[in-house]
Structure 1
Protein backbone atom coordinates (compact mmCIF):
# COMPACT_ATOMS: atom_id res chain seq x y z
CA UNK A 1 0.00 0.00 0.00
CA UNK A 2 1.38 3.43 -0.95
CA UNK A 3 1.91 6.19 1.53
CA UNK A 4 -0.76 8.32 -0.16
CA UNK A 5 -3.28 5.47 0.01
CA UNK A 6 -2.59 4.83 3.67
CA UNK A 7 -3.18 8.48 4.47
CA UNK A 8 -6.60 8.44 2.80
CA UNK A 9 -7.64 5.10 4.33
CA UNK A 10 -10.13 5.68 7.19
CA UNK A 11 -8.83 2.56 8.91
CA UNK A 12 -5.42 4.19 9.25
CA UNK A 13 -6.93 6.71 11.63
CA UNK A 14 -7.74 3.89 14.06
CA UNK A 15 -4.12 2.98 14.57
CA UNK A 16 -3.18 3.38 18.27
CA UNK A 17 -0.31 5.74 17.57
CA UNK A 18 -2.73 8.17 15.89
CA UNK A 19 -5.27 8.20 18.72
CA UNK A 20 -3.75 10.99 20.78
CA UNK A 21 -3.01 13.27 17.78
CA UNK A 22 -6.54 12.67 16.49
CA UNK A 23 -8.07 13.59 19.84
CA UNK A 24 -5.98 16.73 20.16
CA UNK A 25 -6.75 17.69 16.58
CA UNK A 26 -10.43 17.08 17.25
CA UNK A 27 -10.32 19.62 20.05
CA UNK A 28 -9.09 22.24 17.58
CA UNK A 29 -11.86 21.37 15.12
CA UNK A 30 -14.52 21.60 17.82
CA UNK A 31 -13.05 24.83 19.15
CA UNK A 32 -13.39 26.41 15.70
CA UNK A 33 -16.72 24.81 14.80
CA UNK A 34 -18.71 25.71 17.91
CA UNK A 35 -18.31 29.51 17.63
CA UNK A 36 -19.05 29.37 13.89
CA UNK A 37 -22.28 27.41 14.42
CA UNK A 38 -23.32 29.58 17.36
CA UNK A 39 -22.74 32.74 15.33
CA UNK A 40 -24.62 31.53 12.26
CA UNK A 41 -27.56 30.43 14.39
CA UNK A 42 -28.28 34.02 15.45
CA UNK A 43 -30.14 34.92 12.28
CA UNK A 44 -32.19 33.40 9.49
CA UNK A 45 -31.87 33.63 5.75
CA UNK A 46 -34.27 36.56 5.60
CA UNK A 47 -32.19 38.58 8.02
CA UNK A 48 -29.01 38.00 6.03
CA UNK A 49 -30.66 38.94 2.73
CA UNK A 50 -32.15 42.09 4.24
CA UNK A 51 -28.83 43.11 5.74
CA UNK A 52 -26.94 42.51 2.50
CA UNK A 53 -29.49 44.55 0.54
CA UNK A 54 -28.42 47.72 2.36
CA UNK A 55 -26.35 50.04 0.14
CA UNK A 56 -23.66 50.36 2.82
CA UNK A 57 -23.20 46.59 3.00
CA UNK A 58 -23.03 46.25 -0.77
CA UNK A 59 -20.46 49.02 -0.99
CA UNK A 60 -18.32 47.43 1.71
CA UNK A 61 -18.44 44.04 -0.01
CA UNK A 62 -17.58 45.59 -3.36
CA UNK A 63 -14.67 47.52 -1.88
CA UNK A 64 -13.24 44.43 -0.20
CA UNK A 65 -13.59 42.32 -3.33
CA UNK A 66 -11.83 45.05 -5.29
CA UNK A 67 -8.96 45.88 -2.93
CA UNK A 68 -8.03 42.45 -1.55
CA UNK A 69 -7.20 40.90 -4.96
CA UNK A 70 -5.17 43.99 -5.88
CA UNK A 71 -3.22 43.81 -2.62
CA UNK A 72 -2.70 40.08 -3.13
CA UNK A 73 -1.45 40.62 -6.68
CA UNK A 74 0.98 43.35 -5.58
CA UNK A 75 2.28 41.19 -2.74
CA UNK A 76 2.68 38.18 -5.03
CA UNK A 77 4.38 39.96 -7.92
CA UNK A 78 6.93 41.56 -5.62
CA UNK A 79 7.07 38.96 -2.87
CA UNK A 80 7.74 35.80 -4.89
CA UNK A 81 10.96 37.13 -6.49
CA UNK A 82 12.07 38.37 -3.07
CA UNK A 83 11.39 34.94 -1.61
CA UNK A 84 13.54 33.34 -4.32
CA UNK A 85 16.43 35.72 -3.63
CA UNK A 86 16.21 35.06 0.11
CA UNK A 87 16.16 31.30 -0.51
CA UNK A 88 19.07 31.24 -2.95
CA UNK A 89 21.43 34.11 -2.18
CA UNK A 90 23.52 35.40 0.70
CA UNK A 91 24.26 39.12 0.75
CA UNK A 92 25.11 41.85 3.24
CA UNK A 93 22.04 42.89 5.17
CA UNK A 94 20.12 39.69 4.44
CA UNK A 95 19.15 39.19 8.07
CA UNK A 96 17.85 42.75 8.20
CA UNK A 97 15.73 42.16 5.10
CA UNK A 98 14.36 38.93 6.60
CA UNK A 99 13.47 40.76 9.80
CA UNK A 100 11.73 43.55 7.90
CA UNK A 101 9.71 41.01 5.91
CA UNK A 102 8.45 39.31 9.05
CA UNK A 103 7.96 42.52 11.06
CA UNK A 104 4.31 43.15 10.01
CA UNK A 105 3.43 39.68 11.30
CA UNK A 106 4.51 40.50 14.85
CA UNK A 107 3.29 44.10 14.95
CA UNK A 108 -0.28 44.86 16.01
CA UNK A 109 -2.09 45.95 12.83
CA UNK A 110 -2.98 49.27 14.42
CA UNK A 111 0.73 49.99 14.91
CA UNK A 112 1.35 49.06 11.29
CA UNK A 113 -1.34 51.51 10.27
CA UNK A 114 0.25 54.23 12.38
CA UNK A 115 3.58 53.57 10.66
CA UNK A 116 1.93 53.90 7.27
CA UNK A 117 0.37 57.20 8.31
CA UNK A 118 3.75 58.59 9.29
CA UNK A 119 5.09 57.61 5.87
CA UNK A 120 2.22 58.39 3.47
CA UNK A 121 -0.26 60.45 5.50
CA UNK A 122 -1.77 63.55 3.97
CA UNK A 123 0.67 65.85 5.78
CA UNK A 124 3.79 63.92 4.79
CA UNK A 125 5.83 64.79 1.67
CA UNK A 126 4.76 61.60 -0.09
CA UNK A 127 1.15 62.08 0.91
CA UNK A 128 1.05 65.71 -0.25
CA UNK A 129 2.55 64.87 -3.64
CA UNK A 130 0.14 61.96 -4.15
CA UNK A 131 -2.87 64.05 -3.13
CA UNK A 132 -1.80 66.86 -5.48
CA UNK A 133 -1.67 64.29 -8.28
CA UNK A 134 -5.22 63.20 -7.47
CA UNK A 135 -4.17 59.92 -5.83
CA UNK A 136 -4.66 60.35 -2.08
CA UNK A 137 -2.95 57.60 -0.13
CA UNK A 138 -5.25 57.84 2.88
CA UNK A 139 -9.02 57.82 3.06
CA UNK A 140 -9.24 56.08 -0.31
CA UNK A 141 -9.31 52.63 -1.89
CA UNK A 142 -5.62 53.08 -2.62
CA UNK A 143 -5.09 53.57 1.10
CA UNK A 144 -6.96 50.34 1.78
CA UNK A 145 -4.68 48.50 -0.65
CA UNK A 146 -1.61 49.97 1.04
CA UNK A 147 -2.81 48.81 4.44
CA UNK A 148 -3.76 45.34 3.21
CA UNK A 149 -0.47 44.86 1.39
CA UNK A 150 1.57 45.94 4.40
CA UNK A 151 0.04 43.38 6.75
CA UNK A 152 -0.52 40.54 4.25
CA UNK A 153 2.58 40.48 2.04
CA UNK A 154 4.77 38.58 4.54
CA UNK A 155 2.61 35.48 4.15
CA UNK A 156 3.43 34.94 0.49
CA UNK A 157 7.11 35.76 1.03
CA UNK A 158 7.55 33.34 3.93
CA UNK A 159 5.68 30.43 2.33
CA UNK A 160 7.21 30.93 -1.12
CA UNK A 161 10.68 31.06 0.39
CA UNK A 162 10.06 27.73 2.09
CA UNK A 163 8.97 26.28 -1.24
CA UNK A 164 12.04 27.55 -3.09
CA UNK A 165 14.30 26.39 -0.28
CA UNK A 166 12.98 22.84 -0.62
CA UNK A 167 13.96 22.61 -4.30
CA UNK A 168 17.12 20.69 -5.11
CA UNK A 169 19.46 23.32 -6.55
CA UNK A 170 20.94 20.69 -8.86
CA UNK A 171 17.77 20.86 -10.93
CA UNK A 172 18.29 24.57 -11.48
CA UNK A 173 21.96 23.98 -12.27
CA UNK A 174 20.96 21.35 -14.83
CA UNK A 175 18.63 23.84 -16.49
CA UNK A 176 21.42 26.41 -16.69
CA UNK A 177 23.81 23.80 -18.12
CA UNK A 178 21.31 23.17 -20.92
CA UNK A 179 21.55 26.78 -21.98
CA UNK A 180 18.58 28.31 -20.18
CA UNK A 181 19.18 31.68 -18.57
CA UNK A 182 18.27 32.69 -14.99
CA UNK A 183 14.83 33.99 -15.95
CA UNK A 184 13.94 30.93 -18.03
CA UNK A 185 15.17 28.63 -15.28
CA UNK A 186 13.13 30.51 -12.69
CA UNK A 187 10.02 30.39 -14.86
CA UNK A 188 10.29 26.79 -16.08
CA UNK A 189 11.92 25.01 -13.13
CA UNK A 190 11.76 26.96 -9.88
CA UNK A 191 8.23 28.31 -10.12
CA UNK A 192 6.56 25.00 -11.07
CA UNK A 193 8.39 23.11 -8.32
CA UNK A 194 7.45 25.69 -5.69
CA UNK A 195 3.91 26.07 -7.01
CA UNK A 196 2.21 24.47 -4.01
CA UNK A 197 3.93 26.75 -1.51
CA UNK A 198 3.28 29.82 -3.64
CA UNK A 199 -0.42 29.00 -3.97
CA UNK A 200 -0.64 28.50 -0.21
CA UNK A 201 1.03 31.87 0.30
CA UNK A 202 -1.34 33.57 -2.11
CA UNK A 203 -4.34 32.11 -0.28
CA UNK A 204 -3.04 33.22 3.11
CA UNK A 205 -2.26 36.67 1.72
CA UNK A 206 -5.73 37.08 0.25
CA UNK A 207 -7.40 35.84 3.42
CA UNK A 208 -5.36 38.24 5.54
CA UNK A 209 -6.00 41.14 3.15
CA UNK A 210 -9.74 40.71 2.90
CA UNK A 211 -10.02 40.38 6.68
CA UNK A 212 -7.67 43.26 7.50
CA UNK A 213 -9.10 45.71 10.02
CA UNK A 214 -6.59 47.49 12.25
CA UNK A 215 -4.26 49.05 9.69
CA UNK A 216 -7.20 49.82 7.40
CA UNK A 217 -8.99 51.69 10.18
CA UNK A 218 -5.93 53.86 10.67
CA UNK A 219 -5.17 54.57 7.01
CA UNK A 220 -8.60 54.49 5.35
CA UNK A 221 -11.55 54.44 7.74
CA UNK A 222 -13.54 55.49 4.71
CA UNK A 223 -14.36 54.04 2.21
CA UNK A 224 -15.72 51.10 4.17
CA UNK A 225 -14.55 47.53 3.66
CA UNK A 226 -16.27 44.48 5.11
CA UNK A 227 -14.18 44.44 8.33
CA UNK A 228 -14.65 48.17 8.97
CA UNK A 229 -18.36 47.90 8.16
CA UNK A 230 -18.64 45.04 10.65
CA UNK A 231 -16.99 47.14 13.36
CA UNK A 232 -19.25 50.15 12.75
CA UNK A 233 -22.39 48.01 12.79
CA UNK A 234 -21.23 46.25 15.97
CA UNK A 235 -20.72 49.57 17.77
CA UNK A 236 -24.16 50.81 16.74
CA UNK A 237 -26.24 47.66 17.02
CA UNK A 238 -24.38 44.72 18.55
CA UNK A 239 -23.66 41.25 17.24
CA UNK A 240 -26.96 40.75 15.43
CA UNK A 241 -26.24 43.76 13.21
CA UNK A 242 -22.95 42.36 11.92
CA UNK A 243 -24.18 38.90 10.95
CA UNK A 244 -25.07 39.66 7.27
CA UNK A 245 -21.70 41.14 6.32
CA UNK A 246 -19.86 38.60 8.44
CA UNK A 247 -21.66 35.80 6.60
CA UNK A 248 -20.67 37.39 3.28
CA UNK A 249 -17.05 37.49 4.46
CA UNK A 250 -17.27 33.84 5.50
CA UNK A 251 -18.72 32.84 2.13
CA UNK A 252 -15.93 34.63 0.27
CA UNK A 253 -13.33 32.85 2.40
CA UNK A 254 -14.92 29.44 1.80
CA UNK A 255 -15.19 30.04 -1.96
CA UNK A 256 -11.52 31.00 -2.15
CA UNK A 257 -10.40 28.02 -0.09
CA UNK A 258 -12.51 25.62 -2.17
CA UNK A 259 -11.19 27.04 -5.43
CA UNK A 260 -7.58 26.83 -4.29
CA UNK A 261 -8.01 23.26 -3.04
CA UNK A 262 -9.45 22.35 -6.43
CA UNK A 263 -6.51 24.00 -8.20
CA UNK A 264 -4.14 22.14 -5.90
CA UNK A 265 -5.73 18.79 -6.73
CA UNK A 266 -5.63 19.51 -10.45
CA UNK A 267 -1.97 20.53 -10.18
CA UNK A 268 -1.15 17.30 -8.36
CA UNK A 269 -2.82 15.23 -11.07
CA UNK A 270 -1.01 17.13 -13.82
CA UNK A 271 2.36 16.68 -12.07
CA UNK A 272 1.77 12.94 -11.88
Structure 2
Protein backbone atom coordinates (compact mmCIF):
# COMPACT_ATOMS: atom_id res chain seq x y z
CA UNK A 1 0.00 0.00 0.00
CA UNK A 2 1.32 3.43 -0.88
CA UNK A 3 2.26 6.00 1.76
CA UNK A 4 -0.43 8.35 0.44
CA UNK A 5 -3.06 5.79 1.38
CA UNK A 6 -1.52 4.92 4.73
CA UNK A 7 -1.35 8.47 6.14
CA UNK A 8 -5.15 9.08 6.16
CA UNK A 9 -5.61 5.76 7.95
CA UNK A 10 -3.14 6.75 10.67
CA UNK A 11 -4.70 10.17 11.03
CA UNK A 12 -8.21 8.79 11.28
CA UNK A 13 -7.08 6.18 13.81
CA UNK A 14 -6.03 9.00 16.16
CA UNK A 15 -9.40 10.71 16.09
CA UNK A 16 -11.03 8.35 18.64
CA UNK A 17 -8.02 8.81 20.94
CA UNK A 18 -8.40 12.59 20.88
CA UNK A 19 -12.17 12.65 20.97
CA UNK A 20 -12.62 12.30 24.74
CA UNK A 21 -9.88 14.85 25.66
CA UNK A 22 -11.31 17.25 23.08
CA UNK A 23 -14.82 16.96 24.49
CA UNK A 24 -13.62 17.46 28.04
CA UNK A 25 -11.55 20.43 26.95
CA UNK A 26 -14.54 21.87 25.12
CA UNK A 27 -16.58 21.71 28.32
CA UNK A 28 -14.09 23.78 30.28
CA UNK A 29 -13.78 26.25 27.40
CA UNK A 30 -17.55 26.68 27.38
CA UNK A 31 -17.43 27.16 31.15
CA UNK A 32 -14.81 29.90 30.66
CA UNK A 33 -16.71 31.59 27.83
CA UNK A 34 -20.22 31.69 29.31
CA UNK A 35 -19.43 34.21 32.10
CA UNK A 36 -17.76 36.55 29.61
CA UNK A 37 -20.68 36.37 27.21
CA UNK A 38 -23.25 36.79 29.98
CA UNK A 39 -21.41 39.76 31.44
CA UNK A 40 -20.92 41.51 28.10
CA UNK A 41 -24.61 41.00 27.36
CA UNK A 42 -25.42 43.32 30.29
CA UNK A 43 -23.36 46.21 28.94
CA UNK A 44 -25.92 47.42 26.42
CA UNK A 45 -28.18 49.03 29.02
CA UNK A 46 -25.34 50.77 30.89
CA UNK A 47 -23.88 54.19 30.11
CA UNK A 48 -20.28 53.03 30.27
CA UNK A 49 -18.68 56.31 29.19
CA UNK A 50 -20.84 58.36 31.52
CA UNK A 51 -20.15 56.15 34.52
CA UNK A 52 -16.40 56.13 33.87
CA UNK A 53 -16.52 59.93 33.81
CA UNK A 54 -17.73 60.23 37.39
CA UNK A 55 -15.22 61.62 39.93
CA UNK A 56 -15.14 58.37 41.90
CA UNK A 57 -14.38 56.29 38.82
CA UNK A 58 -11.75 58.73 37.57
CA UNK A 59 -9.98 58.69 40.93
CA UNK A 60 -10.01 54.88 41.05
CA UNK A 61 -8.65 54.62 37.52
CA UNK A 62 -6.00 57.23 38.25
CA UNK A 63 -4.89 55.46 41.43
CA UNK A 64 -4.65 52.09 39.69
CA UNK A 65 -2.76 53.47 36.71
CA UNK A 66 -0.39 55.26 39.09
CA UNK A 67 0.32 52.49 41.57
CA UNK A 68 0.43 49.42 39.28
CA UNK A 69 3.35 50.68 37.14
CA UNK A 70 5.29 51.65 40.26
CA UNK A 71 4.69 48.23 41.80
CA UNK A 72 5.74 46.60 38.55
CA UNK A 73 8.91 48.68 38.35
CA UNK A 74 9.86 47.81 41.94
CA UNK A 75 9.17 44.13 41.30
CA UNK A 76 11.29 44.19 38.15
CA UNK A 77 14.27 46.08 39.56
CA UNK A 78 14.46 43.88 42.63
CA UNK A 79 13.15 40.63 41.18
CA UNK A 80 15.16 40.20 37.97
CA UNK A 81 18.56 40.13 39.75
CA UNK A 82 17.15 37.61 42.23
CA UNK A 83 15.88 35.52 39.34
CA UNK A 84 19.36 35.50 37.78
CA UNK A 85 20.95 34.36 41.04
CA UNK A 86 18.40 31.57 41.41
CA UNK A 87 19.00 30.46 37.82
CA UNK A 88 22.78 30.45 38.00
CA UNK A 89 23.84 29.66 41.56
CA UNK A 90 23.36 26.96 44.16
CA UNK A 91 23.74 28.08 47.76
CA UNK A 92 22.72 27.19 51.28
CA UNK A 93 19.10 28.18 51.85
CA UNK A 94 18.18 28.28 48.15
CA UNK A 95 15.07 26.18 48.71
CA UNK A 96 13.96 28.58 51.42
CA UNK A 97 14.40 31.51 49.02
CA UNK A 98 12.40 29.67 46.36
CA UNK A 99 9.66 28.99 48.89
CA UNK A 100 9.53 32.67 49.87
CA UNK A 101 9.17 33.61 46.20
CA UNK A 102 6.29 31.20 45.66
CA UNK A 103 4.56 31.87 49.00
CA UNK A 104 2.70 35.05 47.92
CA UNK A 105 1.24 33.09 45.00
CA UNK A 106 -0.31 30.39 47.13
CA UNK A 107 -1.32 32.44 50.16
CA UNK A 108 -4.83 33.91 49.79
CA UNK A 109 -4.49 37.64 49.03
CA UNK A 110 -6.54 38.59 52.10
CA UNK A 111 -4.16 36.57 54.27
CA UNK A 112 -1.24 38.23 52.53
CA UNK A 113 -2.75 41.60 53.36
CA UNK A 114 -3.11 40.57 56.99
CA UNK A 115 0.56 39.56 57.02
CA UNK A 116 1.52 42.96 55.67
CA UNK A 117 -0.54 44.65 58.38
CA UNK A 118 1.34 42.73 61.07
CA UNK A 119 4.58 44.03 59.56
CA UNK A 120 3.81 47.61 58.51
CA UNK A 121 0.48 48.43 60.16
CA UNK A 122 0.13 51.75 61.96
CA UNK A 123 0.62 50.13 65.37
CA UNK A 124 3.77 48.20 64.41
CA UNK A 125 7.25 49.65 64.97
CA UNK A 126 7.83 50.10 61.23
CA UNK A 127 4.40 51.56 60.56
CA UNK A 128 4.51 53.88 63.56
CA UNK A 129 7.97 55.17 62.63
CA UNK A 130 6.90 55.81 59.05
CA UNK A 131 3.72 57.58 60.15
CA UNK A 132 5.72 59.75 62.56
CA UNK A 133 7.65 61.24 59.65
CA UNK A 134 4.52 61.71 57.56
CA UNK A 135 4.77 58.55 55.40
CA UNK A 136 1.82 56.31 56.31
CA UNK A 137 2.27 52.76 55.07
CA UNK A 138 -1.43 51.89 55.28
CA UNK A 139 -4.53 53.62 53.91
CA UNK A 140 -2.37 55.44 51.39
CA UNK A 141 -1.13 55.02 47.84
CA UNK A 142 2.11 53.71 49.32
CA UNK A 143 0.08 51.04 51.10
CA UNK A 144 -1.51 50.10 47.77
CA UNK A 145 1.96 49.77 46.23
CA UNK A 146 3.16 47.59 49.10
CA UNK A 147 0.16 45.27 48.70
CA UNK A 148 0.47 45.09 44.91
CA UNK A 149 4.20 44.39 45.05
CA UNK A 150 3.74 41.62 47.60
CA UNK A 151 1.29 39.66 45.46
CA UNK A 152 2.63 40.51 41.99
CA UNK A 153 6.44 40.38 42.25
CA UNK A 154 6.66 36.55 42.12
CA UNK A 155 5.42 36.58 38.52
CA UNK A 156 8.41 38.46 37.15
CA UNK A 157 10.84 36.50 39.34
CA UNK A 158 9.55 33.12 38.20
CA UNK A 159 9.37 33.96 34.50
CA UNK A 160 12.72 35.76 34.50
CA UNK A 161 14.36 32.80 36.21
CA UNK A 162 13.01 30.47 33.55
CA UNK A 163 14.31 32.85 30.87
CA UNK A 164 17.80 32.98 32.38
CA UNK A 165 17.77 29.21 32.81
CA UNK A 166 17.21 28.82 29.06
CA UNK A 167 20.29 30.90 28.24
CA UNK A 168 23.35 28.79 27.38
CA UNK A 169 25.94 29.43 30.09
CA UNK A 170 28.71 28.97 27.53
CA UNK A 171 27.74 32.29 26.00
CA UNK A 172 28.27 33.98 29.35
CA UNK A 173 31.57 32.16 29.78
CA UNK A 174 32.66 33.33 26.34
CA UNK A 175 31.87 36.90 27.32
CA UNK A 176 33.92 36.56 30.50
CA UNK A 177 36.83 35.08 28.55
CA UNK A 178 36.82 38.16 26.33
CA UNK A 179 37.44 40.34 29.35
CA UNK A 180 33.90 41.45 30.25
CA UNK A 181 33.04 41.51 33.93
CA UNK A 182 30.01 39.87 35.59
CA UNK A 183 27.82 42.97 35.40
CA UNK A 184 28.76 43.70 31.80
CA UNK A 185 28.09 40.09 30.83
CA UNK A 186 24.74 40.17 32.61
CA UNK A 187 23.73 43.41 30.91
CA UNK A 188 24.97 42.64 27.39
CA UNK A 189 24.51 38.87 27.14
CA UNK A 190 22.19 37.34 29.73
CA UNK A 191 19.60 40.09 29.89
CA UNK A 192 19.04 40.44 26.11
CA UNK A 193 18.81 36.67 25.62
CA UNK A 194 16.23 36.31 28.40
CA UNK A 195 14.36 39.45 27.36
CA UNK A 196 11.25 37.69 26.06
CA UNK A 197 10.57 35.86 29.33
CA UNK A 198 11.38 38.95 31.38
CA UNK A 199 9.01 41.16 29.40
CA UNK A 200 6.27 38.54 29.68
CA UNK A 201 6.85 38.43 33.43
CA UNK A 202 6.67 42.22 33.64
CA UNK A 203 3.38 42.22 31.76
CA UNK A 204 1.89 39.56 34.03
CA UNK A 205 3.15 41.42 37.10
CA UNK A 206 1.43 44.59 35.92
CA UNK A 207 -1.80 42.70 35.25
CA UNK A 208 -1.72 41.11 38.70
CA UNK A 209 -0.95 44.42 40.37
CA UNK A 210 -3.67 46.43 38.66
CA UNK A 211 -6.25 43.75 39.44
CA UNK A 212 -5.21 43.16 43.05
CA UNK A 213 -8.08 43.37 45.53
CA UNK A 214 -7.66 41.18 48.62
CA UNK A 215 -4.34 42.44 49.99
CA UNK A 216 -5.11 45.99 48.89
CA UNK A 217 -8.44 45.93 50.70
CA UNK A 218 -6.68 44.90 53.92
CA UNK A 219 -3.75 47.32 53.72
CA UNK A 220 -5.27 50.32 51.93
CA UNK A 221 -9.03 50.21 51.50
CA UNK A 222 -8.71 53.95 50.96
CA UNK A 223 -7.73 55.49 48.60
CA UNK A 224 -9.79 53.44 46.16
CA UNK A 225 -8.28 51.53 43.28
CA UNK A 226 -10.33 50.05 40.45
CA UNK A 227 -10.85 46.67 42.19
CA UNK A 228 -11.80 48.21 45.53
CA UNK A 229 -14.08 50.70 43.80
CA UNK A 230 -15.77 47.81 41.97
CA UNK A 231 -16.44 46.16 45.33
CA UNK A 232 -17.96 49.35 46.75
CA UNK A 233 -20.16 49.78 43.66
CA UNK A 234 -21.26 46.15 43.82
CA UNK A 235 -22.32 46.44 47.47
CA UNK A 236 -24.26 49.61 46.68
CA UNK A 237 -25.83 48.80 43.31
CA UNK A 238 -25.26 45.20 42.27
CA UNK A 239 -23.87 43.84 39.01
CA UNK A 240 -25.04 46.65 36.73
CA UNK A 241 -23.26 49.24 38.87
CA UNK A 242 -19.85 47.63 38.35
CA UNK A 243 -20.07 47.09 34.59
CA UNK A 244 -18.16 50.24 33.53
CA UNK A 245 -15.10 49.74 35.75
CA UNK A 246 -15.17 45.99 35.14
CA UNK A 247 -15.09 46.61 31.40
CA UNK A 248 -12.13 48.93 31.87
CA UNK A 249 -10.25 46.22 33.75
CA UNK A 250 -11.28 43.65 31.14
CA UNK A 251 -9.87 45.87 28.40
CA UNK A 252 -6.56 46.06 30.26
CA UNK A 253 -6.62 42.28 30.66
CA UNK A 254 -7.09 41.80 26.92
CA UNK A 255 -4.11 44.05 26.24
CA UNK A 256 -2.08 41.98 28.71
CA UNK A 257 -3.19 38.76 27.01
CA UNK A 258 -2.11 40.09 23.63
CA UNK A 259 1.27 41.10 25.07
CA UNK A 260 1.85 37.69 26.68
CA UNK A 261 0.96 35.91 23.43
CA UNK A 262 3.33 38.24 21.60
CA UNK A 263 6.24 37.19 23.79
CA UNK A 264 5.41 33.49 23.86
CA UNK A 265 4.43 30.95 26.47
CA UNK A 266 5.06 31.96 30.05
CA UNK A 267 6.33 29.37 32.54
CA UNK A 268 4.26 29.17 35.73
CA UNK A 269 6.55 27.13 37.95
CA UNK A 270 10.18 27.38 38.95
CA UNK A 271 12.30 24.85 37.09
CA UNK A 272 14.72 23.07 39.32
- Normalising by structure 1, we get a TM-score of 0.86
Give structure 2 stretches of 5+ with no counterpart. 1-10, 265-272
Matched, 1:200 2:200: yes
CA distance in 2, matches of 1:145, 1:15: 55
1:162, CA displacement in angstroms? 1.1
Matched residue, 2:230 = 230
Instruction: Sort the Cα spacing of 1:141 and 1:192 in 2 relative to 1 into closer, same or farther, 3 A.
Output: same
Matched, 1:252 2:252: yes
Secondary structure, aligned partner of 1:92: coil
What does residue range 54-73 of structure 1 map to in structure 2 within 5 Å? Answer: 54-73=54-73
1:124, CA displacement in angstroms? 1.1
Matched, 1:175 2:175: yes
CA distance in 1, matches of 2:219, 2:148: 10
1:113, CA displacement in angstroms? 0.4
Matched residue, 1:186 = 186
Secondary structure, aligned partner of 2:43: coil
1:188, CA displacement in angstroms? 1.2
CA distance in 2, matches of 1:211, 1:223: 15
Matched, 1:85 2:94: no
Give the aligned length: 252
Secondary structure, aligned partner of 1:153: helix
- The answer to which of 68-77 and 193-202 deviates more is 193-202
Secondary structure, aligned partner of 1:44: helix
- Normalising by structure 2, we get a TM-score of 0.86
1:261, CA displacement in angstroms? 4.7
Contact 2:204 2:260 in 1 (8 A): no
1:48, CA displacement in angstroms? 1.1
- The answer to which of 39-48 and 164-173 deviates more is 39-48
Matched residue, 1:142 = 142
CA distance in 2, matches of 1:230, 1:213: 10
Matched, 1:113 2:132: no
CA distance in 1, matches of 2:128, 2:13: 65
Secondary structure, aligned partner of 1:114: helix
Instruction: Sort the Cα spacing of 1:63 and 1:184 in 2 relative to 1 into closer, same or farther, 3 A.
Output: same
Matched residue, 1:218 = 218
CA distance in 2, matches of 1:26, 1:235: 34
1:108, CA displacement in angstroms? 0.6
Secondary structure, aligned partner of 1:80: helix
Matched residue, 1:30 = 30
1:31, CA displacement in angstroms? 2.5
Query: For each residue in 1:123-173, what CA deviation from the matched residue of structure 2 results, as whole angstroms up to 9, or x when unmatched?
Result: 111111211222110000000000000001111111111111122111111
1:26, CA displacement in angstroms? 4.0
Matched, 1:104 2:95: no
Matched residue, 2:7 = none
1:95, CA displacement in angstroms? 1.0
Query: For each residue in 1:83-122, what CA deviation from the matched residue of structure 2 results, as whole angstroms up to 9, or x when unmatched?
Result: 0001111111111111111111110101110110011111
1:252, CA displacement in angstroms? 1.7
1:256, CA displacement in angstroms? 3.5
Instruction: Sort the Cα spacing of 1:19 and 1:134 in 2 relative to 1 into closer, same or farther, 3 A.
Output: same
CA distance in 1, matches of 2:12, 2:28: 19
